[in-house]
Amino acid sequence: MRTGKEKPRMTPVFSPEARADLQACLAAWGARHGWGTDLDQVDALAEAVARLAGEVAFAAGLAACGARGGYAGTRRPCPCGGVARFVQHRRRWVQGLAGSGYVYRAYYLCAACHTGQTPWDTAQGLGNQACTPRLRARVAELSARVTYREAKSLLTRLTGVALPESTLEHITLAVGAAIRAEEDAAVAAWEETGAVPPPWPERADNVGARVYLGIDAAKAHTGGGGTT
């Protein structure tokens, strides 16, 4: 599910060597600690191992990609026309699909407009939100299908991530607004130039010469005579 203007989300691909290394680590762990004695234990343990491995991988990856991230010299331009100066590396918390952790990234402050800048946050698609783009996409996808309460329960059960309903609502509304803005911009560009925007990647295989329209509606009695 797309979540507004953002860089494409990659799908990790293990090289044969990396896959073999990971399999060897897991095999050694299983040989030492065991994989259970029946199918239910094996299934439950495999799920727990996958979740723990995800937490470890996220924490290590966050530390690596965010280590003193976003530093671009002692000064950088500010949108107000002034100059933002480097202050320090500040800590922030990040919540991902597989885990969470703290990262230290460069913080700049403009003396003219007193606006702070965190280039790493912007580059990673975080902005002022703690949740990663992948997590926000999952939240929006669940919340678009069920109530926020149900989405919260499903998210926790499937990923182990516990977020309040208010956060789910905030993320979903923000994603919806971003998508609407993109679609409005595409329509405006088409009206001005006649150029048809490229299809979204997840729909590329379904693009053809024929257009299908569907109507989704709900009806309810509004009068004693059966009017709907």
Write down the H helix ranges in 66-205.
119-123, 133-143, 148-159, 165-193
In 56-148 the beta strands, taken as DSSP E runs, fall at 75-77, 83-95, 100-110, 116-117
pLDDT recorded at residue 220: 46
pLDDT of residue 185: 86
Task: Name the amino acid, one letter, at 149.
Answer: R
Average pLDDT over the chain reads 85
Residues of the chain short of pLDDT 70, as ranges, are 1-12, 197-228
How many residues are present in the chain? 228
The secondary structure of residue 76, as a DSSP letter, is E
Report the candidate in 68, 72, 57 with the shortest Cα–Cα distance to residue 90.
68
Dihedral over Cα of 120, 123, 124, 126: its sign: positive
Q: Determine phi and psi for 215, rounding to 5 degrees.
A: -125, 130
pTM: 0.74
pLDDT for position 42? 95
> What does the pLDDT look like over 45-78, one tens digit per residue?
999 999 999 999 999 999 888 877 889 899 999 9
Supply the pLDDT for residue 134: 93
For 84-113, what is each residue's pLDDT tens digit?
A: 999 999 999 999 999 999 999 999 999 999
